Structure 1
Amino acid sequence: MRVIVVDDEDLARGLVREFLAAHADIEIVAECANGFEAVKAITECDPDLVFLDIQMPKLNGFEVVELAGRRARYIFVTAYDQYALKAFEVHAVDYLLKPYSQKRFDEALAHARTSLGGAPDPVAAVVGEALARNKPLDRILIRDGAKVHVIGVEKIDYIEAQDDYVQIHAEGKGYLKNQRLAELESALDAGAFVRVHRSYILNIGCISRIEQGKDSHSAILKDGTRLPVSRSGLQKVKALIG
């Protein structure tokens, strides 16, 4: 089994190495001290399993999973129990709460072996309900080759649908992300972002005015950008800004 160990603390990585040493079939293919290193290593090394800390500089463990993908299995390792539900939402095979024993570690590794063998995810049935309780996004991650852009949602002017992608417009720049517009809409704060058209989500704070044409409406942004507004979108805007 090919394994990557990710933690910003040397001692924490050392403990995982020590516990893994008891398993002869394990090969540690990379160790990482932050989220950016982790995304690169997971992409390049194609591990079977990742032991992943949650609270780290630059990118947290959940953002690593978003950027690196879910081909690998993940065991989250953290000192904070409040992240347990979210860990299972991203289909983690286990959740190790520091400090943990060799016995508990071995149990988690056994769960990973079962998962790699194709066993069904025991928490899949609760994922939808759990996601509904998530807080709105406060930043969006966009992978651009070897680079990762981290964009605070308050900097976003509008988002445009482009087939299976979205174009995120922020501070005069455009960023392409592989995500459906409807999926992103459900994750954003409904009090700040509104779907004004089937192809556009708009940051309410960026609106300068609404113009009425002969048969349609347009939102004029503070930078002069003009976006179409559907009838239902107009009602949503009116409800938010009065």
Structure 2
Amino acid sequence: MDHAVDRRLASLRVIMCLTFDRRAAPQEIAAAKAAIIACQSVLHSVELSGTFDFMFEAEVADMATYNAQLSLCAEPMARLVSRYEANFVCKRFIRRDKPDRAVWVPHNGGMKRIDCKALDKVSAEGDYMRVHSASKSWMIHSTMAAVSDRLGCDDFIQLHRSLIVRRGFIDELIHGGRNWTAVLSDGTEERIAKSNVPAILHMLRNGSTSDGPTLST
């Protein structure tokens, strides 16, 4: 397979698995591997241990091109390869990486990455957000909606429109009259918006009871 493939026209992927003849000279096998790796139609190649010794994925325009290139390799393959198996790719599954759950804050004239797991709370101050982590805080130019999207919804709770807190940062929920108040680990108390109370209680009651806040009346 020694012809370059136009990536815009190619529509066929083939994965070839090879077992080299144990009687073949090691230098000839090494040369064959090097030629396969250098071929412009080969996308990936790996050495194996097991049923096969070598595997590569190639890209060709169509079946006719594949057969033509395979015929060119027939003679050297017959001398060096005791077994080969071709598999054609019909469907490819690509994993999507999870979004980066972190915020970038000003630090020493530059920027510093703070992992969302290390955040305690985020409070709105005008057109800025104050990010709190381990008794430190930073101001960033953002919106509550943008920060909420970055944090994700699993570990953080929005108490009211100006404050988001990490679930584990809530020590106690106090119910007095018609109001609910959250007591945070830093000693501060925050009133919970009435519209948010049902969702917050449901989230906390259905979470871990070992590290969740205490509910008080």
How high is the TM-score relative to the length of structure 1? 0.42
Q: Which has the higher strand share?
A: 2
**Larger-gyration structure (1/2):** 2
Give the structure, 1 or 2, with the largest relative contact order (CA under 8 Å, sep 6 or more).
Answer: 2
What's the TM-score, normalizing by structure 2? Answer: 0.46
